[in-house]
C-alpha cells in the first residue's frame, strides 16, 4: 500500500477534481478513515449539550464512537467508546447523565475520567490502571467542542488565537442547539465536502440561497463589501479575515478561514423573507446583513448569521455513503415558539441541503464511470483545491 | 492482475461451465465491465425512440450511462453521460427532448453534438473544445441501435451485410417498442446470458414455450424445417442461415447468428392460443409459423416472429446482480387495443422470463459453493460454449 | 495469503480476545469458511427429521447447502446440493420426501444414493458414474446428525465412545424437535460463538438465566455439586465429566466437553417457575435439578435438562452477519399441548438469545474501531481461549 498510494496521490493535480479511485476504491476509503479522519480535529458538539457533572453525548463517525462527558472536576473529556476487555461498545445511549460507564457485556466499569474501577474474575497479575478507556484529545474553542483521535493532533491553537477576537462578539459559548438533522447521501464523503467548499454551484443549484446570498457572484459580492463593513462595525464586529487554508495554512490540519460576506439588500439574516429569525447573538447591537463563513481545521464548517449559526459536517458511513449532519444554533436563552420558530429557522439550509444531496449523489454516479477523468476547476472552486492540498498531503504521510 | 487472469482463464475448458471465480470474484467482475462490456457492441434501443431533432434516451449498464440523441443534422449520436468538469451525470431523465444538456451541478452546457458551449469562471487558458462529452461509437442496423465504448469497436459491418437481406423483409426499422420490462435477478450476468444461449433447459423448465416452439427438441425441429421453408418462402422470406459465432466468427465481438426455426402446428406466432398477436411485419405476405433466432455481436439477442420481435439483454448491475431487460416490438403503425392486446403480446416471454429468473438465481446459489466444479456441457449447449470462447478470448486481451 | 495469514495468526495470544482483522477482514472470513467450517464436524439435525425412506432435509451454512436423506437401505447420507452439470441447486425445498432429486434447470436426475441416473443429450464419452453428487461425511451420535465437508474429518469417534455412557440415559436418539428458531445477528460468527463459550457475561446480561443457573457463579456452583451428584445418581445418571477441549483435545476438531452443573434450589429444569416443562427424558427416574453442558466438535453445543435439550449453532451468513440457530428437543412421544406447552418450553432460551443478539452486535460495533485492541480474558472465559486454540491452529493449516 505504501508505495502504491504515493503513486496514486501523484496522479492528482490541484487544479482538477480527484482521480476516480479516490471516490471509488475501498483501499483509499480505509486510508481516509485512518489517516485523515483519524488525524484531523473533528467537530463533536457544543458545550451546552453537557452543562452538568456526568452529562455526556456520543459522537460517531466511520467505525468510531467517542464519548464526550463532563467529570466531577467540571472538566470535559473524550474517551473511545470501546471496552478494554473484549471490545464491546460500553455506552449505547446517544446522550444522558452517568457517574460510571458499565460495559453491557461483562460489566467492566469505568469512571468519568475513563479509569477502570471494576473488573471481576481477573488474574492477580491484572492491573486495572493499564486498562483505562482510550483517551481522545479534546479542544474547546468558544464552546465548540472538537476531538482528535491522533496522539499528536494538528497544532491549531496559534491560528485560533487570531480567530478568537473575530468570533468573540457572537458569544458562541452561549449558544444552544435548536435543531439538528442528518441527510444520508449515496456518495463518498469527499464529494459531499467538496460540494460545501465552493459556491460555483450556488447560482445554478440553489435558487433560495442565491436570492439572498451574494457569495454566488464574486463580482457582485465585492461591490457590496464596503457598505457591509460599515454596518458590521456599527453592530460591534471587528473587520478582518483569516485565510490560512491549503498551501497557506501553517501546518496540515490547521486550516482556518473566516470571512464575512454580504447578504443582498433587504436580508437581515438567512430567512425566507429577510426578516430576523432569532434574538441577536452575543453583544451584537444590530443586524449588519452579513454572514460569516468559518472553517476550523480541515473538516469543520460554520456559517454565522447575526442571529443564528449553522454547523456542517460530512460524516463517512461507507465508501459511497455519507451523512450530511447539520446543526442550527441560537442564543442559549432563546425560547422556541417565543423567540424563534423552528420551521422558519431551519428552512433555508434544509431546502439547500436537500438540493445538495441530489447533486452529490449524481456526482458520485458519474464519477463511477470508468470513463470519468478529472476535470479542471474554475476560479470559484479555490476551496476544493485547498481541501485537496491538505487531504493529499495528509494521506501521503505514513 | 495481468498474469493472474491469464492463469485463471486457462483453467477453463470450452466444453464445461466456467470455473467458480468467474461467477464469484469481484476482480473478474471489474474485468468483465472493462474488457467485455467496455469493448463489445451493446443494444441500446430503437430509432423509433428518437424520431425528432433533440429527442434522446439513456442506456445505463454497470457503472456507465450513455446518452443517445438525434442532432440538428438528423444524425443519431451517443455520448457519455458524465460532465467533463467534476464528473456529474449531466442528464437525469431517462428520455425526452432537449436542444442542450446542462449539467445540474455547475451548469456546464453541451449541445446535441456533445460540444461544450458554456462554462463559467474558467481561466483564460481553458479551451472548451478540449472538453466535449466523450463520444461513444454508434451503429444503426435496420433501426436497431448499438453502441460501443471502445475506441476500436469490433468490425461487425461485413457480417451484417450478409445478414441484411435475411432480416429486410421484417422491416425492423419500422418497428416501435410496444412494451419493455426489467427482471432483476440475484446472479452474475453471465449466468443470465448462458441461460439464454441454450434450449437444453426449455423442456424441463418452460412448459409454455415448449408447447409451441420446436427448438426444445432438435430432432423434432429438424423434421419440421422443410415444410417451414416452403411456408417462409411463400410469406416472402429468404431461406438462409448465418452462423458466425464463437470460434467460427470472423473476429472477436463480431458474432452473428440467424436461423429460423419452426413452431409446432397450429401456432402462427408465440401466442398462448397460436393465433396472431399483431399485424404482420414489413412485407410479409402470410404467417409462416416460424421464429428467427437472431444474435448481433456477443451480447444482443432477438427473436423475430411474423408479427412481433423480442429483444433481450442481460445487464450487469453488480457482481451477483443483473437485470434481464426485455423489449416487445411491433409494427410502428400498429395501435394498442385495436391491432394488438398488450397482455397477450407479452404473455409468453413474461412467464418464461419469470421461470428463468428463478432458475438463474438457483444456479448462482449452487455455483457459490466452494465445492462447485465446472461440469460438462450437452450437445444442446453449443451456444454456451461459443459465448465462452469469445468471452475468454476478449478477457485475455490487455 | 499463505505467509500473511501465518503472521496474522501469530499476532494473537490465547489469553486475550482476537486481533481486529479476525472480526473484520473479508480475507479471513473466506479462510474461516474454507479451513474451519469446511473441515469441522457440524450439527446438521436429528434423525427424527427423516424417519422414512426418501425423507430429507437441507442444512445450509455460508456458501454451502447439504442434503441429508434416508435411502432405500435405511442409510442416512449427506450430499452436496449442487448439480454436477452447471452447478445449480438441485433441491429447493427445506425438507420433504423424494425418491429422486431432479435438477430444476436441465433435469439431471440423482437417486437417494447421489448417483446420476439421467442426463439427456450428453456425448457418448460421458460416464454418469463420474458425476454423482459430491458425497459429504456423516456421523450419527445417538440420533444427533453431524456432517463434515472435508475428505478427512476430525477423528472424533474415540472421544465420543467415552461420552456415550454419560449421555445414554437421556436417550437422545428418541428425541424430536419441538421448535427451532433463527436469530440473525449483525456480527461475525466468532463473536456469536465466543458469547456462548463463557458464562462471565451471564450475571450482568442474563437476569432470567442467572436466577436459576449456578454456572454464572463458579464458587457457588462448586458448593452445590455434591448434592447434585447424589440427586443425579438417584435419577439414573452416571457421574462423570469429559473435558477434552482446546490444547487438551486429542486432535484439532475433536473437542468434546460434558459437565453437569446444578440449578438453584427450587428449579427442576430451565423453566420460569422451576416446574417441569416436559416428560422426563429416556430412562431418568426423577428430576435431579441439573443441566449438562455438552460440546461435540468445535462448533456444536447442547444443553441437556432432565426433560428437554437445547441445541445451538452459530452459522456464518456473511463477514459481519450470522444466524444464531436454536433447537428445542423433547421426548419423541411427547405431545404438544398435553405434555408440554411450547411458549413455556422455549421461554428461557428465547429471552436469553435476544439478550445475546444485542450484546454480540454491540461487541462487533466496538471491535470495528481502528482503536480496538485485544483485551485480557478472565478466569471464567477459559472456553473462549480453548476455542481460539483450535481455531487458530486449524486456520494455520494449509
Nearest-CB residue to C80 (from B358, B369, B378): B369
Q: Give C-chain residues touching B374 at CB under 8 angstroms.
A: 87
Indicate yes or no: CB of C64 within 8 angstroms of CB of B369.
Answer: yes
Q: How confident is the model at residue A2 (pLDDT cuts 50, 70, 90)?
A: low
Indicate yes or no: CB of C366 within 8 angstroms of CB of A65.
Answer: yes
Q: What is the mean pLDDT of chain A?
A: 97
Q: Can you tell me the distance from the alpha carbon of A121 to that of A80, in angstroms, rounded to the nearest whole number?
A: 24
Q: Can you tell me the distance from the alpha carbon of B214 to that of B265, in angstroms, rounded to the nearest whole number?
A: 10
Indicate yes or no: CB of A83 within 8 angstroms of CB of C375.
Answer: yes
C-alpha cell at B380: 444442446
| Strand-pair category, B290-296 with B100-102 | unpaired
How confident is the model over C341-356, as a mean pLDDT? 98
Where does CATH 2.102.10.10 sit in chain A?
42-139
pLDDT tens per residue across span A246-296: 888 878 999 999 999 999 999 999 999 999 999 999 999 999 999 999 999
Q: Give B-chain residues touching A379 at CB under 8 angstroms.
A: 121-123
Nearest-CB residue to B63 (from A203, A369, A377): A369
Q: How far is CA A104 from CA A88, A107, B84, C205, C358, in A?
A: 8, 6, 52, 7, 9
Concatenated DSSP letters of A249-295: SSSTT--EEEEEEEBPTT-SSS-SSSS--SPPPTT--S--SEEEEEE
Q: Can you tell me the distance from the alpha carbon of C393 to that of C15, in angstroms, rounded to the nearest whole number?
A: 15
User: Residue written as cell 440561497?
Assistant: A209
Range C310-324 burial, b when 16+ CB lie within 10 A, else e: bbbbbbbbebbebbb
Q: Give B-chain residues touching C34 at CB under 8 angstroms.
A: 370
In angstroms, what separates the C-alpha of A186 from chain B's closest C-alpha?
13
Chains A, C: CB contacts under 8 A, how many?
Answer: 91
Instruction: Choose, out of B376, B382, B384, the residue to mutate when testing the contact with C (most C CBs < 10 Å).
Output: B376
Q: What is the CATH number of domain B156-396?
A: 3.90.380.10
Indicate yes or no: CB of A120 within 8 angstroms of CB of C378.
Answer: yes
C-alpha cell at C184: 440473525
Q: In terms of Cα–Cα distance, which of C102, A214, A89 is closest to B201?
A: C102
Inter-residue contact C106 to B200 (CB < 8 Å): yes
Q: How confident is the model at residue B11 (pLDDT cuts 50, 70, 90)?
A: very high
% of chain B surpassing 90 pLDDT = 97
Helix axes A189-196, A382-396, angle to 10 degrees: 140
Query: B256: which residues sit within 8 A by CB, 6+ positions away?
Result: B156, B159, B160, B162, B163, B242, B244, B245, B249, B295, B296, B297
pLDDT at position C246: 84
Q: Give B-chain residues touching A194 at CB under 8 angstroms.
A: 86
pLDDT tens per residue across span B249-263: 878 999 999 999 999
Q: How confident is the model at residue C130 (pLDDT cuts 50, 70, 90)?
A: very high
Torsion angle defined by CA atoms of residues A155, A157, A158 and A163, in that order, rounded to the nearest 10 degrees: 130
Q: Can you tell me the distance from the alpha carbon of B344 to that of B277, in angstroms, rounded to the nearest whole number?
A: 7
Q: Give C-chain residues touching A92 at CB under 8 angstroms.
A: 362
Alpha helices in chain C (DSSP H): 2-10, 21-24, 26-31, 157-167, 189-196, 202-205, 207-212, 218-235, 342-367, 382-396
Nearest CA in chain C to B203: C106
Inter-residue contact B366 to C58 (CB < 8 Å): no
* Residues on B contacting C at a C-beta cutoff of 8 Å: 17, 194, 200-201, 203-205, 218, 358-359, 362-363, 365-380
How confident is the model over C38-54, as a mean pLDDT? 98
C-alpha cell at A38: 483519524
Over 70: is that where the pLDDT of A61 sits? yes
Indicate yes or no: CB of C375 within 8 angstroms of CB of A87.
Answer: yes
Concatenated DSSP letters of B263-274: BPTT-SSS-SSS
User: Residue written as cell 432435509?
Assistant: C57
Nearest-CB residue to A367 (from B38, B87, B92): B87
Inter-residue contact A43 to A152 (CB < 8 Å): no
pLDDT tens per residue across span C190-219: 999 999 999 999 999 999 999 999 999 999
Indicate yes or no: CB of C200 within 8 angstroms of CB of A104.
Answer: no
Largest CA distance in chain C: 74
Q: Give A-chain residues touching B120 at CB under 8 angstroms.
A: 200, 378
Q: How confident is the model at residue A386 (pLDDT cuts 50, 70, 90)?
A: very high
pLDDT tens per residue across span A146-201: 999 999 999 999 999 999 999 999 999 999 999 999 999 999 999 999 999 999 99
Where does CATH 3.90.380.10 sit in chain B?
156-396
Q: Give B-chain residues touching A374 at CB under 8 angstroms.
A: 87
Q: Can you tell me the distance from the alpha carbon of B317 to that of B148, in angstroms, rounded to the nearest whole number?
A: 18
Over 60: is that where the pLDDT of B329 sits? yes
Indicate yes or no: CB of C379 within 8 angstroms of CB of A38.
Answer: no
Inter-residue contact A387 to A194 (CB < 8 Å): yes
Indicate yes or no: CB of C122 within 8 angstroms of CB of B369.
Answer: no
Helix axes B189-196, B382-396, angle to 10 degrees: 140
Contacts 24+ apart (CB under 8 A), A255-258: A255/A295, A255/A296, A255/A297, A255/A298, A255/A386, A255/A390, A256/A156, A256/A159, A256/A160, A256/A162, A256/A163, A256/A295, A256/A296, A256/A297, A257/A293, A257/A294, A257/A295, A258/A163, A258/A166, A258/A167, A258/A292, A258/A293, A258/A294, A258/A295
Q: Give B-chain residues touching C126 at CB under 8 angstroms.
A: 376
Q: Can you tell me the distance from the alpha carbon of B343 to that of B351, in angstroms, rounded to the nearest whole number?
A: 11
Q: Can you tell me the distance from the alpha carbon of B323 to that of B307, in angstroms, rounded to the nearest whole number?
A: 26
Q: Give B-chain residues touching C38 at CB under 8 angstroms.
A: 370
Nearest-CB residue to C359 (from A33, A104, A123): A104
* Residues on C contacting A at a C-beta cutoff of 8 Å: 17, 194, 200-201, 203-205, 218, 358-359, 362-363, 365-380
Nearest-CB residue to C200 (from A104, A121, A123): A121
pLDDT at position C250: 76
pLDDT at position A271: 98
Beta bridge partners of C175: C331
In angstroms, what separates the C-alpha of C208 from chain A's closest C-alpha?
15
Q: Give C-chain residues touching A104 at CB under 8 angstroms.
A: 204-205, 358-359, 362
In angstroms, what separates the C-alpha of C332 from chain B's closest C-alpha?
34
Q: In the CATH hierarchy, which top-level class contains the domain C155-396?
A: alpha beta
pLDDT at position A3: 62
Instruction: Choose, out of A202, A219, A372, the residue to mutate when testing the contact with B (most B CBs < 10 Å).
Output: A372
Predicted TM-score of the model (pTM): 0.95
Q: Give C-chain residues touching A120 at CB under 8 angstroms.
A: 200, 378
pLDDT at position B248: 84
In angstroms, what separates the C-alpha of A248 from chain B's closest C-alpha?
21
C-alpha cell at B298: 456477443
pLDDT at position C248: 84
In angstroms, what separates the C-alpha of A312 from chain B's closest C-alpha?
20
Q: Which chains, if any, share at least 3 CB pairs under 8 A with chain B?
A: A, C
Domain B42-139 has CATH 2.102.10.10: yes
Backbone angles phi, psi at B92, to 5 degrees: -105, -15
Over 90: is that where the pLDDT of C137 sits? yes
Indicate yes or no: CB of C376 within 8 angstroms of CB of A106.
Answer: no
Indicate yes or no: CB of A371 within 8 angstroms of CB of B82.
Answer: yes
Q: How far is CA C22 from the centre of its chain?
A: 21
pLDDT tens per residue across span C257-295: 999 999 999 999 999 999 999 999 999 999 999 999 999
How confident is the model over A65-77, as a mean pLDDT? 98
Q: How confident is the model at residue B3 (pLDDT cuts 50, 70, 90)?
A: low
> 3-class SS at B258?
strand
Over 90: is that where the pLDDT of A306 sits? yes
Q: Can you tell me the distance from the alpha carbon of B144 to that of A164, in angstroms, rounded to the nearest whole number?
A: 67
Where does CATH 3.90.380.10 sit in chain A?
155-396
* Residues on C contacting B at a C-beta cutoff of 8 Å: 33-34, 38, 63-65, 80-90, 92, 102, 104-107, 119-123, 126, 131, 134, 149
pLDDT at position A290: 98
Q: DSSP E strands: which ranges in A28-134?
A: 42-46, 55-61, 64-70, 76-80, 95-97, 100-102, 109-111, 116-118
Q: How far is CA A66 from CA A46, A79, C366, in A?
A: 14, 6, 11
Nearest CA in chain C to A89: C366
Q: Which chains, if any, share at least 3 CB pairs under 8 A with chain C?
A: A, B
C-alpha cell at B251: 473476429
In angstroms, what separates the C-alpha of B58 from chain A's closest C-alpha?
13
Concatenated DSSP letters of C314-369: EEEEETTEEEEEEEEEEETT--BTTTB-HHHHHHHHHHHHHHHHHHHHHHHHHHTS
Over 80: is that where the pLDDT of B65 sits? yes
Amino acid at each position: 500500500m505504501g508505495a502504491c498510494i504515493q503513486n496514486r496521490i501523484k496522479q492528482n493535480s490541484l487544479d482538477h477534481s480527484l482521480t476516480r479511485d479516490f471516490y471509488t476504491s475501498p483501499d483509499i476509503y480505509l486510508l481516509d478513515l485512518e489517516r485523515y479522519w483519524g488525524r484531523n480535529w473533528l467537530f463533536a458538539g457544543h458545550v451546552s449539550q453537557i452543562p452538568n457533572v456526568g452529562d455526556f453525548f456520543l459522537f460517531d463517525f466511520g467505525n468510531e464512537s467517542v464519548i464526550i462527558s463532563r467529570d466531577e472536576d467540571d472538566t470535559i473529556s473524550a474517551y473511545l467508546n470501546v471496552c478494554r476487555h473484549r471490545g464491546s461498545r460500553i455506552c449505547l445511549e446517544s446522550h444522558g447523565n452517568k457517574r460510571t460507564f458499565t460495559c453491557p457485556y461483562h460489566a467492566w466499569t469505568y469512571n468519568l475520567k475513563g479509569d477502570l474501577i471494576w473488573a471481576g474474575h481477573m488474574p492477580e497479575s491484572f492491573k486495572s490502571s493499564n486498562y483505562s478507556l482510550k483517551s481522545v484529545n479534546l479542544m474547546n474553542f468558544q464552546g465548540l467542542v472538537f476531538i482528535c483521535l491522533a496522539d499528536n493532533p494538528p497544532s491549531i491553537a496559534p491560528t485560533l488565537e487570531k480567530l478568537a477576537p473575530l468570533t468573540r462578539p457572537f458569544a458562541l459559548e452561549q449558544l444552544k442547539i435548536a435543531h439538528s438533522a442528518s441527510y444520508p447521501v449515496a456518495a463518498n464523503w469527499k464529494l459531499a465536502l467538496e460540494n460545501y467548499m465552493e459556491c460555483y454551484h450556488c447560482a445554478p443549484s440553489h435558487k433560495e440561497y442565491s436570492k439572498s446570498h451574494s457569495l454566488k457572484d464574486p463580482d457582485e459580492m465585492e461591490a457590496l463589501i464596503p457598505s457591509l463593513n460599515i454596518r458590521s462595525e456599527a453592530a460591534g464586529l471587528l473587520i478582518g479575515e483569516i485565510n490560512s487554508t491549503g498551501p497557506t495554512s501553517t501546518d496540515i490540519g490547521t486550516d482556518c478561514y473566516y470571512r464575512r460576506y454580504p447578504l443582498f439588500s433587504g436580508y437581515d439574516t438567512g430567512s425566507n423573507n429577510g426578516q430576523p429569525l432569532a434574538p441577536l447573538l452575543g453583544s451584537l447591537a444590530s443586524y449588519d446583513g452579513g454572514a460569516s463563513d468559518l472553517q476550523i481545521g480541515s473538516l469543520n464548517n460554520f456559517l454565522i448569521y447575526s442571529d443564528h449559526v449553522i454547523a456542517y459536517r460530512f460524516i463517512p458511513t461507507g465508501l459511497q455513503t455519507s451523512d450530511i449532519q447539520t446543526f442550527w444554533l441560537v442564543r442559549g436563552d432563546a425560547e422556541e415558539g417565543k423567540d424563534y420558530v423552528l420551521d422558519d429557522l431551519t428552512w433555508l439550509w434544509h431546502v439547500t441541503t436537500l438540493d445538495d444531496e441530489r447533486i452529490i449523489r449524481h456526482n458520485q454516479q458519474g464519477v463511477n464511470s470508468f470513463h470519468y477523468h478529472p476535470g479542471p476547476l474554475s476560479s470559484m472552486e479555490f476551496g476544493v483545491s485547498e481541501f485537496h492540498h491538505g487531504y493529499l498531503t495528509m494521506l501521503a504521510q505514513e
